[in-house]
Amino acid sequence: MNKAQPVVSNKEIELALQHGSFALQGEFLYGSNRTFLCDLTYEEETMNCVYKPARGERPLWDFETGSLPGREAAAYLVDTLLGWHVVPPCVIRNDGPFGLGSLHWFIEHDPQQHYFTFTEQQKQTLQRVVLFDVLINNADRKGGHFLLDAQDKIWLIDHGLCFHTEDKLRTVIWDFAGEAIPEEITADMKTLQQHINQDEMTRKDFLALIDEHEFSAIEERLAQIVMMKTYPAPSEERRMIPWPLV
């Protein structure tokens, strides 16, 4: 795992994030919560990672303070179970310089590229992202929460404001509203539904990250998505686009 080079698998990255030693290299100046770029060393090799400590959260009225790291890791768990692999590997660490926080694999990317600079062809690849955000009830899918790596793969980041029990969906992606949902995406959602309904370990994994009411809300949204035939459209009853847009 040489620095700035892709590693073999998400499992390998997870092991490094879980067991490697990491040191702060600098702080990202954008964003509402404190976020740090770190060097992570594992088995004598180094990679970059991103550390988001709970102590660095800005208090919110609708999300419990200190809960954002678990939500970040739960979003990665959903992505892993779906088999989509669009969320960078993420784990919870209790031993960071500022205590408990989420630790993420850092994606080398062009910071000038985001949703609003994507071509129409690139945007057409985001059909899964729409339903992923519906499922996790993403309250903050800004245009800057898409990263484009050197292989032109699109990654999704910043999932701290997800999994609320109330409808909080806010996103910049409404391109597919009213269009038919591809059968292969619905099939993936059904597979995830089987995991959640039949695998007690999956339930335990989620409940280590979010509370029982939030987990039940995932089950309800998943059942609704499986029954949906078309992509949802924004409601006129509340604001469903985040601000700022990027």
What phi and psi values does residue 239 have, to the nearest 5 degrees?
A: -75, 125
Q: What is the pTM of this model?
A: 0.95
Confidence of residue 8 (pLDDT cuts 50, 70, 90): low
> What is the pLDDT, as a whole number, of residue 1?
42
User: Which letter, b or e, does each residue of 20-50 get, where b requires 16 or more Cβ atoms within 10 Å of its Cβ?
Assistant: bebeeeeeeeeeebbbbebbbbbeeebbbbb
What are the residues facing 46 on neighbouring strands? Answer: 41
The CATH number given to 10-227 is 1.10.510
Is the pLDDT reported for residue 32 higher than 90? no
Q: Are 160 and 71 in contact (CB under 8 A)?
A: yes
Q: Prior bond to 53 cis, omega within 30? A: no
What are the residues facing 84 on neighbouring strands? Answer: none
> What is the pLDDT, as a whole number, of residue 194?
94
Query: What is the C-alpha separation between 128 and 221, in angstroms, rounded?
Result: 15
Question: What's the chain's average pLDDT?
Answer: 94
Is the pLDDT reported for residue 3 higher than 50? no
Query: What is the C-alpha separation between 75 and 100, in angstroms, rounded?
Result: 17
Positive or negative: CA dihedral 174, 177, 182, 183: positive
Residues sharing a CB contact under 8 Å with residue 10, sequence separation 6 or more, in sequence order = 80, 85, 89
Is the pLDDT reported for residue 85 higher than 60? yes
Q: What is the pLDDT of residues 194-224, one digit of tens each?
A: 999 999 999 999 999 999 999 999 999 999 9
